[in-house]
Structure 1
Amino acid sequence: MLAGFPSRMKIALDTSHLFIAREGIARYLRGLLKGFATVGTPGMEIETVAWPVENFGFQQPLRAMKTAYREGIWGRIIAPVALRLQKFDLLHSQGDIIPPSLFPNQVITLHDLARLRFPQFMRPWNRLMAGNRLSYLHQARRIHCISHFTADEAHRLLGIPLSKIEVIHLGVDALPVEEPTDAFRATIPESYFLFVSALKPNKNIRLLREIYLLAESRSIALPPLLLVGARMEGCMSEGTPPASWKFLGHVSDATLGWLYSRAEGLLFPSLYEGFGFPPAEAMRLRCPVLCGRVASLPEVCGEGAFYSELSPEPFLETMRQVLSEPNQREDKVEEGYQHSLGFSWEKCAREHLELYASV
């Protein structure tokens, strides 16, 4: 048993996001559970709680109905009663399903403050609930922030005392690298840039479109761009995608690892991140990362990224630099790889256990 831990502490981990999305918070929860399984949970009994009904689709009104039930019925009636009846000592949540007013002894993970910084980009339901969710942070016992950047914003914008905040970086998996099927491989060019993200305005895919159009206007040949996660239908709102873009949608971790390992670089022009899984995963597989020196990215990438201003001219020049300067590329790749080794799910899990014990 670790020093300072109670003899037996019963903790509920809200894993609702495993049934809401495949990436982002869901990737964090999968990694944390893996970390707990590896390091053990001495003196603690950790159980997952959720309404285990998937809601990955985009079709309305079914998606909205599931969201309303998960947050309105399960989160506000069923879960709080069950937590009390089963005598849980602590709930670790993401601060959006079970209000602290209904189960006060809570640790909330704060991933970012996009709901405050960019409310115009949020779905109507999330925009409606933003005020409540921000108030939950003040009611929680402790706040886990996934980066120093997010912790600084929580303190500066919300007035949350630094003494209430604990920064625990997320882990980074070395994704498996497996050869895809011959049929899939036949569709992938020998040379390509990669974009990995859900399609959200803060991901700044508009900039990539402007860069490719600028290159075309100057007769500059760029490798095609492969987009993982983004849907072509959503990109159409930014204008017609360049002809060299290929939309792959959701792919397995093994296929994603293979794509990272062969890419000329990951293009990640995001305007705002709480952490940034794709750059960290790319660095672990020695894939060059091109991004802006914004938000949490300098914290996650260290000196292992090719940083650029987030405008067409300088970003295009950085892309050409990656393609034409192999020695600098090799140095950056090694720096990025070494930096990524500092993010592990085992370390993340141990620091969570220490946080739970401090409540």
Structure 2
Amino acid sequence: MKVYVNGRFLTQPLSGVQRYAREITDALDRSLPPGREVTVLVPHPVTFPDWKHLSARVVPGGVGHLWEQTTLYQASRDGILISLGNAGPVRHPAQVVCLHDAHLYEMPQAYGIRYRMVHRKLRPLLARRASALLTVSHTSATALARYLGLPGHLFHIVSNSAAHILRLPCDALAPARHGLEAGRYLLSVGNLSPNKNLARLCAAHAACDVNVPPLAIAGGFAPGVARARDAGLRARVSLLGRVPDSDLRGLYEGAAGFVFPSLNEGFGIPALEAMQLGVPVLAARSGALPEVLGHAALWFDPKSTSDMVRAITKFAKLDKAARSVMRKNGLARAAHYSWDESANAVWRIVQDVAARQTSSLRRAV
């Protein structure tokens, strides 16, 4: 049976959802058995990765959700479609769909009105009509099942990883270019949506004494997501904006510690990226972060400014030995996750869907 990938993610800015889709697709290309036909479909020409086994095809006819519901549906309905980015054609007869989290229901204020309207109608239909459902953590599976009225066991857990960060070049001069002193700043990465909780982080940092390292925040605005009106920035906070990949790894590795204050995460790739690079992590005890990071982080309550102050101050006072233990624990935790293993899991699910489709056709005959 033919297999297609919904390649709309290749036309979108790179955030967590797009990272997942790109890395799973790239890993599929590395691990596909010989002779398997998998085609990535996109609505307009883009720069495709240098795949060896996957093929790519432009299927023009609309953009965005309109393209998915019409053109993509027509082009892929003779096979199995893998949709890894929270959306896909609802009429497709054999679709594997990944829904990443339940933020749409748990934090609706973080999304624009149009986005909420479209996805509140789309996701329940997709969830009920999909041949297989994926999500990135047990936390997300439990929340999605509750809001969508589905049994939790229907969700296959196919996790993110942070191994991609090791492919980026490490520019040790990146901190200096951004006005930072290597080893003497705290880093946070995230867009300025309310869920990322950066205003409270900045307020907590401002309440710390001067012995706490300055804070740098990297990240841009996510399309379709409401912008935070007040980022709560203070004098010792540097807002770096979206930084190129060539700078990102250098900023991570130059940081004394990484702070991730999100109110709710379906997984939390940036915190795991920091651990993958041996950076100590301070994290919000919320959403899937305790599940993903285990005992390797220094935890705080993301809704309490005073508890953030406590955690940041405690970290600033740690000696080299204690920080070394945090680094080792973080590296061990990051090693639990692999894009290749996740891609293999997706392929097993695709094979199961194909077997069920074949069985149904035989019964029909």
Give the aligned partner of residue 250 of structure 1.
Answer: 242
Q: Which residue of 1 aligns with 2:149?
A: 159
Q: Whole-Å Cα distance in 2 between the matches of residues 110 and 134 of structure 1?
A: 8
Quote the Cα distance in structure 1 between the aligned partners of 2:85 and 2:189: 26
Pick the aligned partner of 1:121 from 106, 110, 122.
Answer: 110
Q: Which runs of 5 or more structure 1 residues have no equivalent in the other structure? A: 1-8, 55-67
Q: Distance in 2 between matches of 1:340 and 1:182?
A: 24
Judged with a 3 Å threshold, the aligned counterparts in structure 2 of structure 1 residues 81 and 239 are, in CA distance, closer, same or farther, namely: closer
* Counterpart pick for 2:311 among 305, 318, 332: 318
Consecutive aligned runs of 4 or more in structure 1 exceeding 4 Å deviation: 180-184
Equivalent residue number for residue 57 of structure 2: none
Describe how 1:167-246 pairs up with structure 2 within 5 A.
167-173=157-163, 174-175=165-166, 176-179=168-171, 185=177, 187-190=179-182, 191-215=184-208, 219-230=209-220, 237-238=229-230, 241-246=233-238
Cα gap change, 1:312 to 1:95, in 2 (>3 Å)? closer
For 1:354, the equivalent position in structure 2 comes to 348
1:213: Cα distance to partner?
A: 2.6
Query: How many residue pairs align between the two structures?
Result: 329
Match of 1:149 among 139, 147, 159: 139
* CA distance in structure 2 between the partners assigned to 1:355 and 1:121 by the alignment: 32
Report the 3-state secondary structure (helix = DSSP H, G, I; strand = E; otherwise coil) of the residue aligned with 1:248: strand
- SS of the counterpart of 2:133? strand
Instruction: Give the Cα–Cα distance (whole angstroms) in 2 for the partners of residues 241 and 179 of structure 1.
Output: 27
Matches within 5 A, 1:243-282: 243-282=235-274
SS where residue 63 of structure 2 aligns?
Answer: helix
Which residue number in structure 2 is paired with residue 15 of structure 1?
7
Bigger mean CA offset, 178-187 vs 333-342? 178-187
- 2:68 and 2:89 in contact (8 A); partners too: yes
SS in 2 for 1:295: coil
Q: Once the two structures are superposed, what CA deviation does each residue of 1:228-262 show, in whole Å capped at 9, x if it has no partner?
A: 1146xx98722551012222222233321111112
Quick check: 200-209 or 42-51, which moved more? 42-51
TM-score by length of 2: 0.83
- Matches of 1:325 and 1:183, distance apart in 2: 22
Q: Are 1:107 and 2:96 matched, yes or no?
A: yes
Q: How far has the Cα of 1:196 moved from its partner?
A: 0.5
Deviations 1:178-203 (A, max 9, x none): 22668953722231110101111111
CA contact (8 A) 1:95 1:137 kept: no
Residue 77 of structure 1: CA displacement? 2.1
Partner-residue secondary structure (3-state), 1:322: helix
Please, which of 58, 67, 71 is the counterpart of residue 64 of structure 2? Answer: 71
RMSD value, Cα = 2.4
Partner of 2:301: 309
CA contact (8 A) 1:11 1:45 kept: yes
- CA–CA separation in structure 1 for the residues paired with 2:322 and 2:39: 47
The yes-or-no answer on 1:340 pairing with 2:329 is no
State the match for 2:121 in structure 1. 132
Q: Supply the distance in 1 between the matched residues of 2:342 and 2:174 (Cα, whole angstroms).
A: 37
Question: C-alpha separation between the residues in 2 aligned to 1:27 and 1:120?
Answer: 24
Indicate the SS of the match to 1:221. coil
Normalised by the length of structure 1, the TM-score is 0.84
Identical residues among aligned pairs (%): 27
